[in-house]
A and B are shown apart, each in its own frame.
Chain A
Amino acid sequence: MDRQMDSHEQIRKLLALAVAGALGSEEEQFVARHLEICDECSDELERWRALAGGLRRLPTPQPSAAVVERARAQAESRLTEEMEHVWHRVVMLSLVLYAWILTSLTWYLFRLITGGLLARFEPGFNHSWLLFAAFTSLVWATGGVAAVLLGRHRQQERKMA
């Protein structure tokens, strides 16, 4: 009798979880077996089901169209900004990479044309020096463009903040 009462009390504690679909399979079977022989607990389960059903059917409050529209506008603006931010980062990285490649290339070209650093003292030095200067200028110009882009991007960020 006592064991039956214990089981009864245990089941009562599980009924709320049962209507929330939060029982494990063993617990579910335990509850189902008990409900087959206990009208009292079956009634109790019905009460929990009614409460759960009521919660499921609560009216859904809706945001006004103006609120949704404002949310959309703000989110769109931020998304556009984020995408620009990503694009700027890609451009910046590409430019830096490009600048490094050019710099390395310049060095190898310089060596190829002059035959080494000491060759700059040879008669062909003037011609090689011009090539080197042109490449270096290109590298610096690339860096300059990157700096300008970065500056403009930061300016935009400050404005948005």
Chain B
Amino acid sequence: MKSQYIRSFFVALFLFPLILNAQETSLTQFKTSISIGKAPVIFTTSFDDKVAAKIESTNNIKDDDKEEYARYTNYALNSLLQSGLVLYGDPMTVFVEKVAAKLLANEPNLEKELQFYVIKSNITNALCTDPGVIFITTGLISQIENEAQLAYIIAHEIVHYQEKHLEESFNKSKETNLEITTSYEDLVLLSKDHEFEADANALKLYHAAGYSDKEINTVFDVLMYSYLTFDEVKIDNSFFGNPEVYIPESYFPEKANPILAFEEYDDSKSTHPNIRRRKDAIANEIEKYRDWKNNSHFIETEEFSYVQNIARFESVRENLMRSDYIKSLYEIYILEKEFPKNEFLQTSKALAWLFMSQTNLSGKKRSFIKKIDEKEGSISMVYSFLSKLSSEEMALMAVRQTHDIHKEFPSSKRIKEIRDEAISALAHVRRFDINKLEKISYLDAIKLREEYLTDTVQTDTLAIEGESKYDKIKRIRAKQSSTKSTTELIDENFSAFLLYDLVGNREFNEIYEKEIEKIKNEKGYTSLSKKERKQLKKERNKKLEGDIILITPQLEANYKGNFDLDKTLLFYDIMVKEIPKYAPTERVYDNSIALAEDFTTEKYNEACLINSYLVQKINLNNGEFKDQIIDYEDMQGLIKKFNNPYLVLISGEANKSSIFRNSLSGKAQYIEISTGNVLKSNYYSVNLKIRKASVGGLVFEVFSKF
């Protein structure tokens, strides 16, 4: 197995430069990172083999507990590997591997034992799992400033592995009879002593590699401020792109919320000591080493910034996916200064505005604007501004923004579709009157008013004799309407001027009218006759036609409320065997991430794509609006491979509270990818233990929809 690993490693090494050349460093055509090259052994080894290997290699744990330890650590590792977020062979992982190689230059044995992967997650984190697998999140890469900082963090994780901290924690939890859990946050529940030890011992590798001691303190700053966006930029009018757009000052708070992070927070409930304590401890350790070099990097800084930008682009995407639109917009605002006219960024921006408008119209504004007071830094300005916008203003802003982006990329069908959706959304705004929209921009209106005022001053001086007060008002109003603007020029009315260039546009009006018509037709459904309603119900209960994309079910077994790994594995096992019995096999495509010999990178990337789609779908609160898929092109490619595919998400839970009391329940969701419609299966619940009949019943129920 080792030789296989080495071989794959070399294959990967050979591939990396090719990939780097293939991917343009300008990120103009950015698409979310995918894994590249041959799948690492860890993905192709089955769970049982991994457990067996782990039992063999574990030394510090009592023989009786070895198997338990091996099973739990590998289950946790597998959950991570199957999350669809892990990358291999991509530029970020390659970079991490390069840095690690630099650190481990003098430790060839250790280098062979360790593996490095990047996880797509905006959480700033790095973690070490037991078989020597170290994960670095994209969030971390997006936050750090240089290679040396990354090197220190990697060194820190390596020490966790070297010193077998995980085994120690396991032994400790065994001694104190703590429940073992498999969530990866808990798995890295290393005591604070472990953290200090890792901080200190990391210096050895770090120093030997020749990195500068000055970067170490900054690492702790990075960690401390990691909850903020990767950069802090002042918000000004350029945030809204179009100079013709007038946003009243009164919509913004006077100043941004202050950044509050402080080093000496209460760490009594945290797994990690607070930053102040860590900084103090490390300062002493740094002094123990002499001859510090001054290198902040060994690899070309271009490569680091390329990798970092990928991570930042990924951050934009992830925030969009997780419905954190404002963070996403703020990041785009930061990035577009460096990457103006970047199609990915602009599409993401259009999506963010569209999603915000749709979510707002669905009455879910709170899902993306909440806890404004707790936001720190410039981003709080955006939060505050958007929270002040009414549904109508937000919908109009969305049209404004998407239309501007559309003008920038007139050839992009995708962006045009987003803009059209934003226009359609306008039709859903209550008490919205399209005729109220002005044909001139706010700034033009002000200019006109000024011109008019100078006019009226002149006319006023030529007061007409015998004219009554009301005649005068009538005369002034007549004059006013000739300025093409009837809306009073006050801040609250700014939105009426937002679509000055679109109001007269035929296409704009057509899209709007079409949607109005559609809404009217849909409302008609409520007055259906009994027969028609019955027909409709029948149609709803109709069997689904189309292909079935299966992803890894979410199954869990508990014994007296605690997670039961053996039974969970049994649950999965029976489920896998029962599916072919009740599923229409010719239409079923298994896209779950199965860590087995037939694992291929192509299949894996496809599964990851579907996973991402699912994450977006779960977080999306856009009510009845049509879904806009973030990884649009890739998903379109995938959908084409199938015949109107449904994504089937099975979840199940088994509980055993005593010998006589068992229950097993579950349900499934069917997502029609082409439309985004979600259907739910009936809720399945039986008082049976995990066995063929009970799990089979669930599978039967799930597939009875097809």
The answer on A and B forming one complex is no
A binding-site residues for B, Cβ under 8 Å:
none
B binding-site residues for A, Cβ under 8 Å:
none
